[in-house]
């Protein structure tokens, strides 16, 4: 059922109050097609968990929330299982399903908010794993023709927090299901960030995928604001990937700048470190600000407007450019 003048505040993790001209959820592809027939040329916006979106104004169109459920095993051999998930499943529930069934590959991606269907949009990643590492294919409804198309790993053109759906196919498809290839004998990936330290504190020397998942959940819970308590959309900016010359220039003043090798001889810098060094970490402007433990996360403490947060991000981008010569790019989708 389509509802009018619908408050989107509970449907975006920033907790921004904006209204959609029309809103409906869909739980089957038939319902989705039926809703698209009632579009009346309105602009469309598909929502999963609303955890990667900043609304800066009311949406003068039709917002459709994906609630396509169902997780099924569609194949297996001695070493792998193939699992297909409805796009409206909650990502972390899918991870827990895999961990409980001893299917490996997504445990490092525990506790990322949002839906399974949005996971390929920006090739979600954390602790050294991206979904492209376990991704087989997805099905998506082509809005213009109403046909379901299938995309394999190559066709998704995954990059660092990127995919073809954020670039040349933007707004053309709604993802309806995603299929993953998971391991039965696992490669444990514990080398990244604070995982090793957390495992030591847990007294674990030979970690299972459940131990990795628990460690990641513990680390994330300790340093990331819970959107149910403080509005946010995770990292607001991507980590910049720059030429070595840019790093060398910054190192003249900041010897200890963290940096990591990236494809094509480039280097990845930690955007959070740059923002912290520039003095923004913990800065609060009445109802919004930069989180005190994680400089990459912009927050809505109560009743901030989307434009407040957008303007803050613009100021940070300008300051980082001026101080370090690095252009930060927003990761969050701005509407």
Check residue 51 for interaction with ligand FAD (CB under 6 A): yes
What is the x/- site pattern for ligand FAD, positions 67-106, by CB under 6 A? --------------------x-------------------
22, 107, 161, 177: the catalytic one is 161
| 69/188 Cα distance (integer angstroms) | 29
Q: Does 127 bind ligand NAP (CB under 6 A)?
A: yes
Binding flag, residue 53, ligand FAD (CB under 6 A):
yes
Q: How many residues bind ligand FAD (CB under 6 A)?
A: 32
Quote the CA–CA distance of 327 and 58 in Å, as a whole number.
Answer: 29
Q: Does 24 bind ligand FAD (CB under 6 A)?
A: no
Residue with tokens 């919004």: 288
CA distance 271 to 250: 13
Binding to ligand FAD in span 234-273, by CB under 6 A: 234
* Cα distances (angstroms) measured from residue 285 to each of 163, 208, 280: 34, 43, 11
Count Cβ neighbours within 10 Å for each residue of 180-204 and write b for 16 or more, e otherwise.
bbbbeebebbbeeebbeebbeeeee
Give the interface segment with ligand FAD, choosing from 93-101, 112-120, 210-218, 277-285 (CB under 6 A). Answer: 112-120
Q: Give the span between the Cα atoms of 46 and 39, in whole angstroms.
A: 13
235 lies in the binding site for ligand NAP (CB under 6 A): yes
153 three-state secondary structure: coil
The residue behind tokens 């990937």 is 241
H/E stretch holding 288 reads: strand 288-290
Residue nearest to ligand NAP (CB): 234
What CA–CA distance (Å, rounded) separates 196 from 215? 9
272 binds ligand NAP (CB under 6 A): yes
CA distance 319 to 236: 15
Provide the 10 A C-beta neighbour count for residue 98: 26
Token reading at 315:
């100021």
The binder of ligand FAD chosen from 164, 174, 195, 320 (CB under 6 A): 174
Clarify whether 167 is annotated catalytic.
no
CB under 6 A: which stretch of 32-40, 122-130, 131-139, 141-149 binds ligand NAP? 122-130
Q: How far is the CB of 231 from ligand NAP (least distance, A)?
A: 14
Should residue 231 be labelled a site residue for ligand NAP when binding is judged by CB under 6 A? no
Q: Could you list the residues that contact ligand FAD (CB under 6 A)?
A: 13, 45-53, 66, 87, 112-115, 117-119, 121-122, 124-126, 174-175, 224, 227, 232-234, 333
Q: Could you list the residues that contact ligand NAP (CB under 6 A)?
A: 125-127, 192-194, 223-224, 234-235, 239, 258, 260, 270, 272, 294, 331
């Amino acid at each position: 059922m389509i509802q009018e003048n619908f408050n989107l505040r509970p449907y975006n993790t920033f907790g921004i109050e904006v209204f959609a001209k029309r809103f409906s959820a869909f739980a089957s592809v038939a319902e989705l097609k039926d809703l698209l027939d009632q579009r009346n040329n309105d602009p469309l916006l598909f929502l999963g968990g609303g955890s990667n979106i900043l609304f800066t104004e009311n949406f003068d169109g039709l917002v459709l929330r994906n609630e396509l459920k169902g997780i099924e095993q569609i194949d297996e051999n001695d070493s792998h299982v193939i699992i297909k998930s409805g796009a409206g499943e909650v990502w972390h529930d899918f991870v827990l399903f895999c961990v409980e069934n001893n299917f490996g590959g997504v445990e490092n991606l525990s506790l990322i908010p949002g839906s399974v269907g949005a996971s390929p949009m920006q090739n979600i990643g954390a602790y050294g794993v991206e979904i492209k590492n376990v991704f087989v294919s997805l099905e998506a409804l082509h809005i213009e023709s109403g046909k379901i198309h299938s995309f394999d790993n190559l066709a998704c053109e995954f990059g660092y927090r990127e995919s073809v759906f954020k670039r040349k196919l933007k707004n053309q498809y709604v993802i309806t299901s995603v299929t993953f290839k998971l391991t039965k004998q696992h490669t444990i990936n514990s080398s990244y960030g604070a995982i090793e330290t957390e495992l030591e504190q847990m007294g674990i020397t030979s970690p299972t995928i459940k131990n990795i998942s628990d460690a990641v959940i513990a680390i994330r819970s300790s340093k990331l604001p819970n959107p149910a308590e403080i509005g946010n959309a995770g990292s607001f900016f991507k980590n910049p990937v720059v030429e070595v010359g840019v790093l060398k220039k910054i190192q003249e003043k900041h010897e200890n700048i963290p940096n990591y090798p990236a494809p094509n001889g480039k280097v990845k810098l930690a955007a959070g470190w740059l923002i912290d060094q520039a003095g923004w970490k913990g800065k609060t402007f009445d109802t919004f600000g930069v989180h005190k433990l994680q400089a990459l996360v912009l927050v809505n403490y109560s009743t901030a407007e989307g434009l407040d947060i957008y303007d803050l991000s613009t100021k940070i981008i300008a300051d980082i450019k001026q101080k370090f010569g690095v252009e930060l790019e927003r990761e969050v989708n701005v509407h």
